[in-house]
Structure 1
Amino acid sequence: MGLYVETRIRTDMDTLWERTQDPAHHQRWDLRFSEIDYLPRPPGEPQRFRYAVRVLPFLTVSGTGVSAGESGGADGRRVSVLRFASPHPLSLLAEGGGYWRYVPTPDGVRFLTGYDYRPRWGRFGAVADRWVCRPLMGWATAWSFDRLRLWCEHGVSPARSLAHGVAEPAVRLLAVAGTFAALAPSGADGVAGAAPWALPALVALALAALLLLLPPLPRTPAARRCLRTPPGRPTASSAAVRDPALLATLERP
């Protein structure tokens, strides 16, 4: 099962292309990468790159990849494809590939990706990928796409978006904890049994559910704003979600 994410960004094609193709910009907004560096490229050859992902403060997983991009003709469409691989034994992602498509719209660009990869670690890796890694990768891709959208549409820098993404859930959590603390019995009142705790617990749970359902603030990135499955009905636009022919021309890194 491949991963798919789509968003609409109200910006011009050149700005979006630069912020996704320039590695210095790309690593700023994409949560999946800590570092991206282009390697020297001989004329006429695809672009090779090196990437790194900081999994933990003391653990960085690295790999290499190859990418290529092209314009789609008079309609202004563009496409970028890549293949990647990591020899690091602690990387669950052994190798994979995918594409970015840029489809002009009357008010901006329809930006979408489709990609897949082969996990390592045998049966354990397959289970870990299905239940942990793949959902996390899908969420991180969608969250990053919305972070990119905020940068292009509203000038919210990726660093500020990250701060919003951390601060807003923290404030909501503090609101729940503060509500519970304000309503909780104190001193000897709480010794009689569980009954005195029932009301504050129920109020805190209700508030937590409400805050979970409320949408994030407009300047806070949110994966929920992105489409996570390809359009289901066969339409003229459905060709945009197929693997580009260019992807088949790339050799594995």
Structure 2
Amino acid sequence: MSRRALYVETVIRTDLDTLWEYTQDPRLHERWDLRFARIEPVAGSPGRFRYTTKFLGIVVNGTGTHAGESTRPDGGRTSALRFASTERLSLIKSGSGYWRYSPVDDGVRFVTGFDYTTRWGVLGRFADLLFRPVFGWMTAWSFDRLRWWLETGTPPERLPLLSPSASRCRRSPRTGKDGSAPRILDTLEQA
């Protein structure tokens, strides 16, 4: 991951199996993640999906592929993905990232790191100076929204808008492996 890669971390008071389900099931994932309006598995293609995002009234579609490690020697799990959009309105051309799930005394530490390339040349790089911090905020807000859902049982659609807060999430990696992508990402095919 590059120096500009986005990173978000939170601890959720739940068990590993529940967190895995709520993040890996597309129907549940799209309910808590502000970045996605729709996530649909591609029939007959395990690990492949289509997604729709809506940002400032702009609707963009893309494709992705993902793989997960549901058993790791350290007791945690990882999930990696690659994503891309061919739509000209999409600032993001392609990207990749991971989720890391680490059991801790009071729940599961849930971490993401991801990066992407932009289109539109110099204009795209300039637009990304504004978009990247917003995208990071959306990710952190969504992680806290998921935390609220799992800890209180309140569905995301019923949470007051100001209940989740991006400020509750760590936004820079700790020293060690949290800021580095898992090896599974190296073997994942392009979106």
- Report the equivalent of 1:13: 16
Q: Secondary structure at the match of 1:109?
A: strand
Give the counterpart of 2:146 among 135, 145, 148: 148
Q: Secondary structure at the match of 1:123?
A: helix
In the alignment, does 2:164 pair up with 1:226? no
Deviations 1:7-58 (A, max 9, x none): 000000111000000000000000000000001245xxx500000012344x
What is the TM-score when the length of structure 2 is the normalising length? 0.94
Deviations 1:36-81 (A, max 9, x none): 0001245xxx500000012344x41000000000134343210000
2: CA distance between counterparts of 1:226 and 1:55?
Answer: 22
- Report the equivalent of 2:89: 90
Give the counterpart of 2:40 among 27, 37, 41: 37
2: CA distance between counterparts of 1:86 and 1:151?
Answer: 30
**Residues 37 and 19 of structure 1, relative CA distance in 2, 3 Å threshold:** same
Give the length in aligned residue pairs. 188
RMSD of Structure 2 on Structure 1 (CA): 1.3
2: CA distance between counterparts of 1:77 and 1:159?
Answer: 29
Q: How does 1:1-253 map to 2 (within 5 A)?
A: 1-42=4-45, 47-57=47-57, 59-130=58-129, 132-161=130-159, 164-165=160-161, 168=162, 220-231=163-174, 234=175, 238-253=176-191
**Paired residues of 1:27 and 1:34 also in contact (CA < 8 A):** yes
Q: Secondary structure at the match of 2:90?
A: coil
Give 1:95 shift. 0.2
**Paired residues of 1:71 and 1:79 also in contact (CA < 8 A):** yes
What is the TM-score when the length of structure 1 is the normalising length? 0.72
The aligned amino acid for 1:95 is S
**Paired residues of 1:85 and 1:96 also in contact (CA < 8 A):** yes
- Report the equivalent of 1:200: none
2: CA distance between counterparts of 1:73 and 1:122?
Answer: 40
The aligned amino acid for 1:89 is R
Larger % of helix: which? 1
The aligned amino acid for 1:23 is P
- Report the equivalent of 1:187: none
RCO higher in structure (CA 8 A, sep ≥6): 2
Q: Secondary structure at the match of 1:227?
A: coil
Percent identity at matched positions?
55
Give 1:251 shift. 1.6
